[in-house]
Amino acid sequence: MLRRMMHRTSSLGPWVFVVLGSACGGSSGGASSGKDAGPVSSPDAAPDSSSKPPHDGASPSDGPAPSEAASACVPAIPHLAWTSPYAGWSGGISTDPSFFPIAVWLQQSFHAEELSGLGVNIYVGNNAGTDPLAASDLATLKSYGMYAIIAQDSVGLASIDDPTIVAWWMSPDEPDNAQPASGGGYGPPVSPSTLITEYDAYKKADPTRPAWLGLGQGVAFAAWEGRGSDAPPESGYPAASDIVGFDIYPYNACGGDANQMMICGQFWLNALGVDNLHMWSDRNQAVWTDFETTDIGGTGNGPTPVETTSEVWLALIHDANGILYFIDLITPTFREDGIFADPAMVTAVTALDKEIKSLAPELNSATIPDLVTVTSSNTAAPIDSMVKANGTSLYVFSAISRAGTATGSFAIKGMTGNGTATVVSEGRTVDVVAGKFSDDFAANGAHVYQVDLSKAVCP
């Protein structure tokens, strides 16, 4: 994300939640979740929670055996094990399936009330030098049910026993970028080995909390000029973290130089970076990514609400384990909580975060591969998908992953029954015939479908 230490010195689209009713199967309990997301290539309305089965706080993958889901016209839901990437720390981020990390970058505590209303539950990046969170500030966050990921410095360590702190932020921000040199200009990035030494020191000081590392856009944009020359491979950095994130802002890039213009509008890059970080991680590190919400530099090239929402859904479909918003306006006038200058973006992000929270039990569960396929009518605009489950219901998360529009054709493997798909947030239905249905995707469109296999009507 942009460095705030530098700053100080110098209508939602069709986000659909679908319930499929059907009457032939037995009950399933095997609930799980998964990602059937298509590949992402490099650049060279709130749901109806009343339709969801109750959840007791256990992982959605806990439940009856797959055979209980089987019937003559629907498939069994696989019962897949899943381990939270936050499970290794007694003082870390909650492993309650109903909690999904929704963070904000470097805000002061007096914004807590408005940020809580937005849906944020974690502050990230505060340190002794910039917007420090002392004990009184942490108490403010706690009063709003929020947590903090802060630097392990003099301010942070003074509150080491405060459970509001759920991870330690490793400095500097974006260590994989070229670093400012003491005599002016820039030197090389911080080496992964240096960060691993720092990581080991963090763990020695506090083995109960994970370490959070925030990288730059080189994670998803290999030609990013900001890394300088002879930079170490990005793949070496996740080893210095337990939670690894990165930032990239494709719509703001449209107001940048020729190098940034290479990624202008490429809203799928957050998803690509998530894929890369998972691939480079070797011990089930949690992967986060940062999202743009404002016209950061005042160039007239910030994202629309639909575009930000699209970036988030694609990243989640590619198995992001947490999301983080950059909400500042930098120029022409600095505003730390700049998102609140844009009522439409506030409305969209609030609705998006409400939907993510309602789907947290599904997001916090295992992948179901190959059970549902989707084909796009537009080969230039593929549709990425992820399949989750809870109880007898499948959850199919899907989003268009390139510029353009398309019709998505879905097929549930092993389902021959019929039903009706209700688009809960739009008040419309979609016919499901022999386990197949289709739906339209507008530009930046995304849909989440719930399919209750226990209600299928067998032919």
Residue 370's nearest CA partner among 97, 75, 85, 81 is: 75
What is the tens place of the pLDDT at every residue in 60-84?
444 443 333 447 899 999 989 999 9
Which phi and psi (to 5°) does residue 203 adopt?
-65, -35
Q: Which domain holds residue 272?
A: 85-363
Q: Is there a single domain that holds both residue 153 and residue 279?
A: yes
Least trusted range by pLDDT, from 280-284, 354-358, 404-408, 454-458: 454-458
Strands (E) located in 54-169: 102-105, 122-126, 147-151, 165-169
Three-class SS of 153-165: CHHHHCCCCCCCE
HSE-CB at 119 with a 13 A cutoff on CA atoms is 24
Q: How far apart are CA 56 and CA 48, in angstroms?
A: 18
**Residues 78 and 143 grouped into a single domain:** no
Contact 442, 406 (CB under 8 A): no
**Are 162 and 122 in the same domain?**
yes
pLDDT at 32: 33
In a domain, 8, yes or no: no
CATH of the domain at 126: 3.20.20.80
Give domain status of residue 134, yes or no.
yes
What does the pLDDT average to over 148-167? 98
Residue 399 and residue 265 share a domain: no
For the chain, what is the mean pLDDT? 87
Domain count along the chain: 2
Tell me the pTM: 0.88
